[in-house]
Amino acid sequence: MADPISLTTPIEEIVLHFPEAVGFLSRHGVRCIRCGEPLWCTLGELLEEDKIENPQKLVEKLNDFITSGNK
């Protein structure tokens, strides 16, 4: 089974389908994607803008978080 989120997943889709991802990303240094300005970009673009080191590793951790039932 493919991971539900990738670097090319639109932020809007993440917020809509995986709202638990918002808090996870915030705890890992990604700016708030729910409040304030709308973000019309992909997760990869957002991670690049926020200068997140090793974005692919963060996406892997995020998918583990989502598929493990947020434990």
Residue 6 inside a domain? The answer is no
Is pLDDT at 1 greater than 60 in this prediction?
A: no
Number of domains in the chain: 1
Q: What is the pLDDT of residue 70?
A: 72
Q: What is the pLDDT of residue 37?
A: 59
CB atoms < 10 A from the CB of 18, how many? 18
Domain annotation covers residue 5: no
Give the residue numbers spanning the domain of 49. Answer: 11-67
Q: What Cα–Cα distance (Å) separates residue 3 from each residue in 35, 38, 51?
A: 26, 25, 23
Q: Tens digit of pLDDT for each residue in 10-69?
A: 988 998 899 999 899 999 988 766 565 566 889 999 999 889 999 999 999 999 999 997
